Chain A
């Protein structure tokens, strides 16, 4: 069997071009038209992270989010502290949403240690977590406003947030980092006269946030800027694993308070806000609608709450779990489903603790959404993902 060797004239040799790059180093050809922008970490529109954005004229051709600037090793820290001492540092990733960040941890530890929670404590937890959700969303909304250049929408939520912060201060003694939820209930009982004050503040708060429609959500410039930008389809939202308001803005009716009710959420009438558009406008409107729903839940919970009773089960000092018992609990936080996977050892400390955070899940969608968008849409699409940099880094 003979094979014909190719003649020299048939062999084609690649000519060395000027754009040739040494292989294996991951270098890319640089187009003259393309400019790489490092948006962050010291940039007014980035948060504690960096977006490496490549732009061609006014269009973004690629975006590479680079989180990790505020990594604090919360999960490793948790392995060296006992179940009670873990409470204050685990709420640090999102101090504005500290009750919700702590909620799944407390639920998980209760299941691991086999603790029954009093009925009144469950209602107090629901009220605290809904108030905290509103506080978080107001902070998020303030930054969303200033990202769009709307300074009034920065100041109004930041000011109205104080109403609920005062309420939380009455309830827990701390303005932001409450450390209120403990395994077995809540730390303190409600102060006297709390129900009336809470009802009054929440009613006024709801009236205030309805006024935001006139200045922000019905604003023609805002609508023209955010509608049909960064559209996340229903399939993509599920495929990329987004949660919370991002998922619900893409038309998926998914709320853990209804799908997997924890504590007393199954006894309350909850309406889930869903929008079909999946654009930045829908993603910015869903949290605002959620705040009104939270006000409804707080009113219901105040009505149904037992007027007296214990709010806390007395624990043994240094409670220990069983050998290699594990639990996964998740709740609907201000940003989406937030889960804790806790493995216990026969020790007072957890063997392993894993946080599954909604911010990181929502950030995954950012490169897909920003591709082909205009540079002016970058802040609105980025912040509409309901993303909190510190939580994503843990």
Chain B
């Protein structure tokens, strides 16, 4: 008699199918068909190559690769594709989902557990989907005394800011959503937004634990932003540019981590603090302040914050790769596109199809994206690893680490960069 899982009856199931079909047909006949006819009545159908464009003709074109491939090419050149699919949200969300899976399985292996196991038959590969469904189906509870507009807006703003960060990352030569000349400054600006959103959501929840967590997050993010910005100055001094694509392109022969290891270490530690990962997860310290500034979020609002957190994690790891690990550069491992497909065509049974414009992506782009993903996954692995090894630090220890040690090390890094520059070893554009 459970309400959540009512008893399954085949007759009711079939009846529901017919019901749906009936309403669908009714809607189509009463609304859909008149709308189509009205549109056809108003619009003049185009004539292409002497043929009237009918829906049948359009469908036959889609089935013809020589006609669809140029459309795909044109679509791939649009900003929409870049924002939604490849260097933008889709690619980042896929990597973030992979990160969550790797985190769970790796941590489980480290701790003598199995981790997600049943969902999706193979090693719990669909666990994330299950969690997402669970979060969507849960009720969203808003505290009675919360400042509701800001409380609702905070998760959305968090994801939007994380997505803005993702948009600045160049993945392969020429493949970046927003190729800003002051790219690194834009990154700093975006990072500066996170503490504001955190304190807004913490304050608007009007509850004690989110308030303490928000104040902690504010302390942590603001005090670690300074060494974060200072640690990247070395790279800017040596490359002489703020454009992230040009910084990545300048490392064609060697990555900057060889000359600026101190800066890389400082950036990595501040990155952990900005991401609120263990050992710097004080804003979410569960044994002290329940879940910190996330305490009052429920359902998909929490899910959105988690999505934003993992997008931010990907973006930071990618930034590390772009600035210190030579971005997309790496040995050419992707084989060149077989040229005989262009000249002789693909033999598919009785048909030999010649498809012009086939290499959708160039060899350089595929190779660059491959190396970029490999390096990013490596950096993400090292971001995840401390969670299995370290306990949480305390606020005073964290702040003293940020203000005394890391800022000092960041200045050491700047002096190393200046020394290399004035000694004439390196200059804008690489080795002198």
Contact = CB atoms under 8 A, between A and B. Distances in A.
Interface in A225-242: 225
B111 A376 contact: no
B111 A375 contact: no
B145 to A, nearest CB: 16
A378 B388 contact: no
A221 interface: yes
B395 A149 contact: no
A162 to B, nearest CB: 10
Contacts of B285: 149, 376
B396 A374 contact: yes
A35 B208 contact: yes
B282 interface: yes
A188 interface: no
Nearest to A37: B208
A264 B414 CA distance: 69
B397 A224 contact: yes
B290 interface: yes
B306 to A, nearest CB: 17
Contact of B290 (A35, A43, A152, A216): A43
A38 B28 CA distance: 58
A221 B387 contact: no
B184 to A, nearest CB: 31
A45 B392 CA distance: 14
Contacts of B289: 375
Q: How large is the interface on A (under 10, 10 to 19, 20 to 34, 35 or more residues)?
A: 20 to 34
Interface in A204-231: 215-216, 219, 221-222, 224-225
B117 to A, nearest CB: 15
B113 interface: yes
Contacts of A150: 390-392
Interface in A370-384: 374-379
B288 interface: yes
A267 interface: no
Nearest to B112: A159
B111 A151 contact: yes
Contact of A376 (B209, B288, B387, B390): B288
Given A45-B288, A155-B113, A225 B391 contact: yes
Nearest to A36: B208
B394 interface: yes
Nearest to B212: A375
A149 B281 contact: yes
Nearest to B393: A221
Contacts of A219: 389-391
Contacts of A45: 286-288
A159 B108 CA distance: 12
Nearest to A378: B288
A327 to B, nearest CB: 41
Nearest to A153: B391
A374 B282 CA distance: 13
Contacts, number: 83
A139 interface: no
A45 B396 CA distance: 20
A368 interface: no
Question: Counting chain B CB atoms within 10 Å of each CB, which of A149, A150, A155, A377 scores highest?
Answer: A149
B98 to A, nearest CB: 21
B330 interface: no
Given A43-B290, A45-B286, A149-B285, A374 B208 contact: no
B110 interface: yes
A152 B395 contact: no
A213 to B, nearest CB: 14
Interface string B379-412: 0000000011111111111000000000000000
A222 B111 contact: no
Contacts of B107: 151
Given A35-B208, A150-B391, A375 B287 contact: no
A306 interface: no
A51 to B, nearest CB: 11
B278 interface: yes
B391 A149 contact: yes
Contact of B112 (A145, A155, A375): A155
Interface string B85-108: 000000000000000000000010
B112 A148 contact: no
Contact of B394 (A153, A155, A216, A374): A374
B359 interface: no
Contacts of B286: 44-45, 149
B393 A225 contact: yes
Interface string B115-132: 000000000000000000
B279 interface: yes
Nearest to A377: B394
A45 B290 CA distance: 8
A14 interface: no
B278 to A, nearest CB: 6
A376 B395 contact: yes
B111 A148 contact: no
A225 B397 contact: yes
Interface string B249-292: 00000000000000000000000000000110110011111100
Contacts of A215: 389
A37 B390 CA distance: 27
A156 interface: yes
Contacts of B396: 58, 374
A44 B290 contact: yes
Those 4 A-B pairs whose CB atoms lie nearest each other, nearest first: A149-B392, A45-B287, A155-B111, A150-B391
Given A149-B287, A149-B392, A222-B391, 13 more contacts: A35-B208, A37-B208, A43-B290, A44-B286, A45-B287, A148-B392, A152-B388, A156-B111, A215-B389, A221-B392, A224-B394, A378-B288, A379-B288
22 contacts: A45-B286, A145-B391, A149-B278, A149-B285, A149-B286, A149-B287, A150-B391, A151-B107, A151-B111, A155-B113, A219-B390, A219-B391, A221-B392, A224-B393, A224-B394, A224-B397, A225-B391, A225-B393, A225-B397, A374-B395, A375-B289, A376-B282
